[in-house]
Amino acid sequence: MVQQERLKVLVVDDDAVDRMAVKRNLRKIQTELEVIEAENCKAALDLSQSQSFDCTFVDYNLPDGNGVELVGQLRQLGVRYPLIALTGHGDEQVAVALMKAGASDYIAKDKIRPELLDRIMRQCLRLYAAQQESERIKQQREALLEQREEFISRMTHDMQTPLVGANRMLELIQEGAFGEVAETVQAKIDIITSSNRDLLKMVQDLVEVYSYEAGAKEINRVSVNMPRLVKEVLQQLEPLAIDKQLSLEFEITAPQLTYDIALDRAEIKRVLVNLIGNSLKFTETGGITIRLTGSSPSNPQFKITVSDTGVGISEADQTQLFKRFRRGKHKRSNSGLGLYLSRKIIESHQGQIEVESQVGQGTTFIILLPLI
């Protein structure tokens, strides 16, 4: 039986006899019951907007519309509690239409019995209660996630200043500002400095990620000569290539094309440093090749590819590569937020970033930037 808490039910039917039949059968299974009656769609809509119900029974044939229309209108108004349709014998097509419109269940009028009403109404009320609880948990979870994101955002922002200060202090020690440093100590300081820089970069990436996700990041477009920008990045990363004895090659395809584009220079440079830096990090032999294809009237976009001769990335890991806080078997899949941030930057320029790779045959990152 339905729990004996006071329920408020709306019965919508233009036939007073049919309304009475529903009310009488309901009272046999639910003594604590308030039944409100409506004879047409307009009355039902008015009542549903001015009062709150636990359940509504809706007849299909109404003088100013039909049950399908009424159910749809009630759902559009935000009514989420059970709507149980009343149909004639053999009206299976009508029943299907009612369910598609948003009815919770249906009962043929000639089969209305206390036991059937009890079972159907109980099932619908239980499902509604479960949906309400699920929604409550979802909202609670979203609120907790929002609080967590805000905490991490503030924490990472606040961490930048002490990390920058620590880096500067280590640099002063290395420069001998506080006296001569023993060679063995110098080696240890180098390790600490490198780790500190990695941590600072991760924190800075986090700050940038939250800035993009909050919609607070402004894209400052200026005219940029792409070959010049790529050469600047390669010059910055060349020491890493020399240390690993890797080649760094830069190719411009179709030199006759246009190679100036309006974009945020600092942000695109961040992407290039990240992609080329990652390729250097995860390539042991061979090298990295950067290819730049300019725009033309028939193809108004820039194409940048960064190809390496590393171990490659599996198809499974490729699907996760640009996701936030991703997990993957390939070590590149756990390289921090760099690739996710790169995707956010490129998308903020209305561009695309993709990856092509086969295990054992290297990796190519492809950037497409529209000419705006």
List, for residues 321-363, the tens digit of each pLDDT value: 888 765 555 555 444 578 988 999 999 999 999 999 999 899 9
- 307 pLDDT higher than 70: yes
Specify whether 173 is located in the same domain as 241. Answer: no
Note whether 227 and 355 are same-domain residues.
Answer: yes
Flag whether 128 is in a domain.
no
Structure confidence by residue, pLDDT tens digits, 168-192? 888 888 888 888 888 888 888 888 8
* Pair 200, 227 in one domain: no
**Chain length of the chain:** 372
* 11 and 72 share one domain: yes
**10 Å Cβ neighbour count for 163?**
17
How sure is the predictor about 199, in pLDDT bands with cuts at 50, 70 and 90? Answer: confident
Last residue of a domain, one of 169, 195, 213: 213
Condensed to tens digits (0 to 9), the pLDDT of residues 237-246 reads: 998 899 999 9
- pLDDT band at residue 62, thresholds of 50, 70 and 90? very high
CATH at 315: 3.30.565.10
The residue among 83 and 281 whose pLDDT is bigger is 83
In a shared domain, residues 39 and 161 = no
Domain encompassing residue 70: 7-112
Q: Does residue 2 surpass a pLDDT of 80?
A: no
55 and 80 part of one domain: yes
Is 134 within the bounds of a domain? Answer: no
User: What three-state secondary structure class fits 301?
Assistant: strand
Question: Looking at beta carbons, which pairs linking 86-91 to residues 24 or more positions away fall under 8 Å?
Answer: 86/13, 86/18, 86/22, 86/57, 86/58, 86/59, 86/60, 86/112, 87/60, 88/60, 88/61, 91/60
Burial class (CB in 10 A: 0-12, 13-18, 19+), 65: middle
Mean pLDDT throughout 145-162? 70
Same domain as 282, residue 163: no
Question: 10-14, 81-85, 294-298 — which is least confidently predicted?
Answer: 294-298
**Rounded distance, CA 232 to CA 210, Å?**
27
Contact 33, 9 (CB under 8 A): yes
pLDDT single digits (tens) 215-265: 778 889 999 999 999 999 999 899 889 999 999 999 998 877 888 899 999
Percentage with pLDDT > 90 across the chain: 51
Rounded to whole angstroms, how far apart are CA atoms 164 and 161? Answer: 5
The pLDDT of residue 16 is above 50:
yes
Query: Per the structure, how many domains does the chain have?
Result: 3
Query: Which residues, in sequence order, are bridge partners of residue 299?
Result: 296
Residue 10 has pLDDT above 50, yes or no: yes
